[in-house]
Amino acid sequence: MAANFNVVPVKLLELRSDFAVIRAQVPFAVTIWIFNVVVMYLCVYPS
């Protein structure tokens, strides 16, 4: 089902690339992933 959230905007906006929406999400996804890793590390190994 999650794939629909990336496919529908591509078709509605008539973008050339099927991966344009995913490429736009990459910087946010990487930033959130790094933040989550840091938070988990701090929770597991508190100072």
How does pLDDT run across 20-38, given as a tens digit for each residue?
A: 888 888 999 999 999 999 9
Question: Letter for the amino acid at 22?
Answer: I
Higher-confidence residue of 1 and 32: namely: 32
Task: Please provide the DSSP assignment of the chain as one string.
Answer: -HHHHHHHHHHHHT-S-TTHHHHHHHHHHHHHHHHHHHHHHHHHS--
Q: Which residues contact 23 (CB under 8 A, 6 or more apart)?
A: 17
The reported pTM is 0.68
Q: Is the pLDDT of residue 2 over 70?
A: no
Q: Give the structural domain span for 23.
A: 2-44
Cα–Cα distances (Å) from 4 to 32, 34, 42, in that order, read 21, 25, 35
Number of domains in the chain: 1
Q: What is the mean pLDDT of the chain?
A: 86
1 pLDDT tier (thresholds 50, 70, 90): low
